[in-house]
Amino acid sequence: MVVGQKELSGQVAIVTGGAKNIGRATCLDLADAGAAVCVNALTSVKEAEAVAKEIRDRQGQAMTFIGDISEPDVVNDMVDAVIAELGKINILINNASVRKVCKLEDMDIKAFREIMKADVEAPFLCARATLPKMIKAGGGTIINIGGLSGHTGVRERLHVSTAKSALTGMSAALAHEGGPYGVTSNCLVPGRILTDTGGEHPKPPGLRSGNTLTDVEGHPNHIAAMVRALCGPAGRYTTGQTIHVNGGAYTTTG
């Protein structure tokens, strides 16, 4: 890296669910690091455009892609659009997610599959479509944004817990797929995060206390900072890992 050059200069990132909260913070942080960013959203069109405009106002490069990334054709269209406008793909942040509360006794297969489609199939489709582009570009980074419920379990969100748990295995497998070609893959698991509007994501029923060890409240920029680190030169030795960013609300020993 040239002295004075930003660590992600010349790289291109796709951030799914990039219009709000963790996704928005991640888009802005990656752009601040020098990456060109594709902000993906499904329904938050105005918010996605606002994020892209904010990046451009800061002299960065950004585009938006609005579409349902749980559909294979849409994912292929997104990848083609990014290549056409930005030239390549180096970074994929699978952040988009659907979280719903439903008692198991009320959870039919349609409700279960809705979460699987959004939270597992979509990251799979995006990884499958972008990995060859990263290999062609000489390497890259895939980060799946997991969930604490995938490790603790949680009442009334069996479908969400199952989906988030699946992302840890997917991330490890992608590390093996991409490793020989310089592509790293990790699962980043946020704790309870305050939204950009100041509200806190609801505590899922049955989840133990989310109090941090230092009483520091989680913000989207805490997650974005870790994403940025994993995408940069200092993150090249970290792959196949599940990384918790939660202020110590949940601790692991291995």
Give the side-chain half-sphere CA count within 13 A for 221: 6
**What's CA 90's distance to the chain center, in Å?**
14
Residue-wise pLDDT tens digits, 163-213: 999 999 999 999 999 999 999 999 999 998 987 544 444 454 444 445 678
Arithmetic mean of pLDDT, 42-71: 97
Arithmetic mean of pLDDT, 99-126: 93
Instruction: Give the C-alpha distances (Å, rounded to integers) separating 31 from 24, 106, 107, 251.
Output: 11, 43, 40, 31
Q: Going from the N-terminus, what domains does the chain have, and what CATH number goes with each?
A: 12-245 (3.40.50.720)
Under 8 Å between Cβ of 161 and 167 = no
Separation between Cα atoms, residue 98 and residue 100, nearest integer Å = 7
Q: Which residues are registered as beta bridge partners of 36?
A: 12
- 178 SS3 class: helix
Q: Which pair of structure tokens corresponds to residue 72?
A: 């294979």
Query: In the chain, where does DSSP find H-type helix?
Result: 21-32, 45-57, 72-86, 109-116, 122-137, 149-152, 158-178, 220-231
Separation between Cα atoms, residue 115 and residue 136, nearest integer Å = 32
| pLDDT score for 196 | 56
- The closest alpha carbon to 42, from 110, 121, 99, 98, belongs to 98
| pLDDT score for 2 | 66
The whole model's pTM is what? 0.92
DSSP 9: T
Arithmetic mean of pLDDT, 5-13: 96
- Is 222's pLDDT higher than 90? yes
Give the least confident one: 41-45, 49-53, 248-252.
Answer: 248-252
More confident residue, 197 or 56: 56
Arithmetic mean of pLDDT, 12-35: 98
Under 8 Å between Cβ of 216 and 240 = no
| pLDDT score for 249 | 84
| pLDDT score for 198 | 42
Give the side-chain half-sphere CA count within 13 A for 1: 14
